[in-house]
Homo-oligomer: A and B are copies of this chain.
Amino acid sequence: MLKARVEQLIGTRGEGFEAAREAIRGDAIRTPLLPFASGDGREVRVKAECLQPYGSFKIRAASNLLAGFSADELRRGVACPSAGNFGQGLAYAASRRGVPLTVHAPDNAAAVKLQVMRDLGATVVVHPFEAWWTIMCSRDTGRDDGLFIHPVCEPRVIVGNGTIGLELVEDWPEFDTVVVPVGGGGLISGIALALRSQGHTARIVACEIETAAPLSAALRAGHPVTIDRQSSFVDGIGSTRLLDEMWPLLSELVDEVMVVSIADAERGVRLAAQQAHMIVEGAAGVALAAALSPSCPGDRGVAMLSGGNIDHQILCRILG
């Protein structure tokens, strides 16, 4: 059902992506695609979504989402569950429109992200991870805090994320592989659908962290399954289970999945700082490490640096 709604929003010629691109202009920026030394013969470029306002691609989704509601619909305010980046993007977009916002965050969210939301005027409620995940699945916050917005399973979220795909095709039509971190799956789905709408055939490579890899487990089982999950510094991706609604999209769009170790994720964060002078969070470190790995397919790969919101204490431990 989500899949059908997304396809309807996209339209037969990808008009939905072009409309999203117009809708988010002013909130989100067009991020650069930067060359990165791969160390072997392959060409790797990084899509620097960490340079977005508030440091993450999610501003694209948040902006596209709010642009689709009427002032009347937004009057009571909006509520969303978020591990941080979507909440930040939504807080920014909501503050610009004067819309009250409540963000429901898991207890492993980065402190720096929650503070930014509060600074932007949002109410932040912190839940134990399992309780937070229940909100993600049930769409029930247990409060009367306004229009519920899902950070992943919303057509306008997925299409907003997909605007990245249009930029990739414009900036480097020859790329043959894109490596995208998978949390809920909204980013990789949006990008894959946008590439398809452009007739682009790049290989869609998902990446996960070894401590929480529900997509790998689902692909093995043939359907979403609940997995063991350990906390780590990689706080933007990795849940206990894929959302059932996302499975029809992910199972169709993802070509393969790579699982990255904590040590390699840290190496990705370190390399981004040393070579590209950018501060990236764990999920982006996972994508860069996967794209640089000899086991990554393709000769012209894009690593999706999804965000830059990492506690600086953790960053400095990794750089030290």
A316 to B273, CA, bound (A): 12
One of B31, B312, B320 near A273 (C-beta < 8 A): B312
Question: Taking the complex as formed, is A29 at the interface, i.e. its CB lies under 8 A from any CB of chain B?
Answer: yes
Interface contact A51-B34, CB-CB below 8 Å: yes
Kindly specify which of A67-75, A137-145, A220-228, A275-283 makes contact with the partner chain: A275-283
Residues of B within 8 A of A320 (CB): 312-313, 316
Is the Cβ of A35 less than 8 Å from the Cβ of B55? no
Interface pair A277/B319, CB less than 8 Å apart: no
Residue of B nearest to A277 (CB): B308
Report the bound CA distance from A277 to B279 in whole Å.
5
Cα–Cα, bound, A48→B279 (Å): 14
| A51 B273 Cβ-Cβ under 8 A | no
Q: Which residues of chain B are near A273, meaning CB under 8 Å?
A: 279, 312
CB-nearest residue of chain B relative to A309? B277
Whether A50 sits at the interface, judged by CB under 8 Å, is yes
Question: Hey, what's the 0/1 contact readout for A243-282 against B, CB within 8 Å counting as 1?
Answer: 0000000000000000000000000000001101111100
| Interface mask (A269-305 → B, CB under 8 Å = 1, otherwise 0) | 0000110111110000000000000000000000000
- A98-B215 Cα distance, complex, nearest whole Å: 46
The complex is assembled from copies of this chain, and their number is 2
Interface centre among A32, A34, A276, A277 (most CB of B within 10 A): A277
- For residue A112, which residue of chain B has the nearest CB? B274
| List of B residues within 8 angstroms of A62 by Cβ | none
Known: A277-B308, A320-B316. A51 touches B29 (CB 8 A): no
Q: With A55-B277, A277-B50, A277-B279 in contact, do A319 and B315 touch (Cβ < 8 Å)?
A: yes
A53 at interface, CB cutoff 8 A: yes
Min CB distance A129 to B, Å, is 25
Kindly list chain B residues whose C-beta atoms are within 8 Å of the C-beta of A48.
Answer: 51
Type the 1/0 row for A35-60, where 1 means its CB is closer than 8 Å to any CB of B.
Answer: 10000000000001011010100000
Chain B residues, Cβ within 8 Å of A276: 51
Contacting residue for A29 out of B35, B278, B309, CB 8 A: B35
Additional pairs, 8, CB under 8 Å, beyond known A273-B279, A277-B280, A315-B316: A32-B51, A34-B51, A48-B51, A51-B276, A51-B277, A51-B278, A277-B278, A312-B319
Q: Name 16 interchain pairs, CB-CB below 8 A, sorted by A.
A: A29-B35, A31-B32, A32-B32, A32-B51, A48-B51, A50-B277, A51-B276, A55-B277, A277-B278, A277-B279, A277-B280, A277-B308, A277-B309, A278-B279, A313-B320, A315-B316
Top 8 A-B residue pairs of the complex, sorted by shortest distance between their CB atoms: A277-B308, A316-B316, A312-B319, A277-B279, A50-B277, A32-B32, A55-B277, A273-B279
Measured CB to CB, the residues of A under 8 A from B are 29, 31-32, 34-35, 48, 50-51, 53, 55, 273-274, 276-280, 308-309, 312-313, 315-316, 319-320
